[in-house]
Amino acid sequence: MFRVVIRQQFFDVSCEFIVIIEMMQSKRKHIIGIDLGTSRSLVAVFQGGQPKVIPTASGDMSVPSVVAFDIQGTVLVGVPAWNQRALTPSKTVYGAKRLIGRRFDEMGTCGLEVDLAYRICETEVGRIGIGVRKVSAELVSAVILDALKRQAEDFLGENVTRAIITVPAYFNDAQRHATKIAGEVAGLEVVRIINEPIAAALAYGLEKKTNAKVAVFDLGGGTFNVSILDISDGVFEVLSTAGDSGVGGEALTDRLARHVAQEFTRDSGIDLRGDSNAMHRIRDIAETAKVGLSSLLEVTLRVPAVALSKGKWIDLEIAVTRLKFEELCKDLFERVTTTCQKVLADAKLSPSDVQEIVMVGGSVRIAKVQELAKKVFHTGTVVKGINPDEVVAIGAAIQGGVLMGDVKNVVLLDVTPFSIGVETLGGAMTKLIERNTIIPISKKEIFSTTQDNQKAVTIVVLEGERQMAADNRVLGRFDLQGIAAAPRGVPQLEVEFSLDCNGILNVMAAEKATGKKQEIQITGSSGISKDEVGRMQSQLAEITRAWRRCS
């Protein structure tokens, strides 16, 4: 505890100190760490001086991030939902992490290349609705989080109420806020949202005695993120982070599945793209083939009775080589390389400055991915002995130990992945906080009016890297009124941005002559209203009651 106070004087981590004090004053119940993944999710805890992944009742270390309705209408989650997918593909939801916090008009940025077996539609407020009921990706995620919460409670023998949830480093404000809401709907106080790369670095660096610059190469199911960290004497400082939300293991599987469907159409003349059941089966076998090609040079994909033609069932059987798979995904692999080069440039480092590479996510087992990582960071040593599937959850559990005071001498210095600013004259974006700035951070800037005797200005808060405001994401807007009459350019309007270690942004604008102030906390950029949160909580409560009736 004393160590943290000392570090506060050198690094602006006052938020960390306050949270630790709050934790020490509350009951000594565990804070669980959750890796809410696109394909699979895990929960871990710091217990007995060590982080440990909490197994399911059947002994599995992870659960499929899948939610389904069976033929009776019961909600299934995890393995039962995964097993149900062949019977009710249109009612089986997977990959919700790629949809969380997004608007319907952002579907093109989700990295989805194959038609989903379940229906996607636009809700009345422009968000993504899933299925006939138009359930949200946040509710689907809450169902998964609730299952992980109950799994932890069974293991620990106590009521679990607090959690740390990890997110990709390149998640924007809306996606982070939506993830936090999903946790709250599941009955969890989300005490921290932390980036997956820094969680992985925590798991890697906790027991290391040497100091090093480390590249965390994180290719999960839905996203690719890479961060450069400087680890020194218990301080984990992120130097830069970059990512691509359109690249991940699911996108690679989608690419292979699309190829297989096209090859079947060419051979048989039957187009399967409109058959959700057939495409679901093809996607399953494409996932298996992708895994197989990590160790084999060629695999054969077989799907029996995939289509009916002239009264006869036709089987699908197509051979795919590793070379062909790499060719199909060439542009995706190139985007991985480009992102790695970008993160090095942002950190002002050369590849030779990176001593070690921590590989995270199941997709890092792909042969081409291993090759790319070694090629970009050519002097770095790939760290062995770390399970890429579990390392993020382990790191989240360690962060829970930090906040509980069980892990000493650890300080996290994370960065904001996107620039944040305001719209100014001519529709331009003026950045107040540049991306890769260490958080927490506070920045002030003086602006003025654009018209004579202007009595009010609208502050439009933006997130992104483009020069024009219209090309960036709007986080929020508010009006500063009561400005004293004066020629344009005379009033002094001070705008202050404060971004805390949870990524929550406060914006304050003040007119110096009159002292008029207006402040807003940017927490609603996900577009999720309080009423909608309440509805999701009610829906989850009904699902939970149904589970209890069946158990």
CB under 8 Å to 360, separation ≥6 — which residues? 196, 197, 200, 216, 217, 218, 219, 220, 388, 391, 392
Quote the crossing angle between the two packed helices 14-25 and 2-10, to the nearest 10°.
160
What is the rounded distance in angstroms from the CA atom of residue 121 to the CA atom of residue 3? 51
CB under 8 Å to 530, separation ≥6 — which residues? none
Q: Are strands 212-219 and 356-360 parallel, antiparallel or unpaired?
A: parallel
The residues facing 165 across adjacent strands are: 34, 193
- Picking from 125, 126, 138, the residue whose alpha carbon sits closest to that of residue 93 is 138
Handedness of CA 341, 504, 511, 486 (dihedral sign): positive
CB 496 within 8 A of CB 508: yes
The residues facing 215 across adjacent strands are: 228, 357
Task: Kindly state the tokens that stand for 74.
Answer: 């019961």
Q: Which residues are catalytic?
A: 35, 97, 196, 218
Helix (H) or strand (E) holding 258: helix 249-268
Q: 3-state SS string over 285-303?
A: HHHHHHHHCCCCCEEEEEE
CB under 8 Å to 323, separation ≥6 — which residues? 297
- Picking from 291, 280, 293, 281, the residue whose alpha carbon sits closest to that of residue 319 is 293
Q: What is the CA radius of gyration of the chain?
A: 24
Task: Kindly state the tokens that stand for 381.
Answer: 């040593």
What is the side-by-side strand order in the sheet with 66-69?
Answer: 75-77, 66-69, 92-94
* Angle at the Cα of 381 from the Cα atoms of 396 and 38, rounded to 5 degrees: 35
- Picking from 434, 459, 440, the residue whose alpha carbon sits closest to that of residue 511 is 459
Q: How many CA atoms lie within 13 A of 252 on its CB side?
A: 37
Task: Kindly state the tokens that stand for 187.
Answer: 């009955």
Q: Are strands 162-167 and 31-35 parallel, antiparallel or unpaired?
A: parallel
* Angle at the Cα of 145 from the Cα atoms of 102 and 16, rounded to 5 degrees: 85
CB 120 within 8 A of CB 130: yes
Residue reference for tokens 């820094």: 198
Rounded alpha-carbon distances, angstroms, from residue 281 to 115, 187, 273, 285, 315: 13, 35, 12, 6, 12
Chain centroid to CA 419: how far? 18
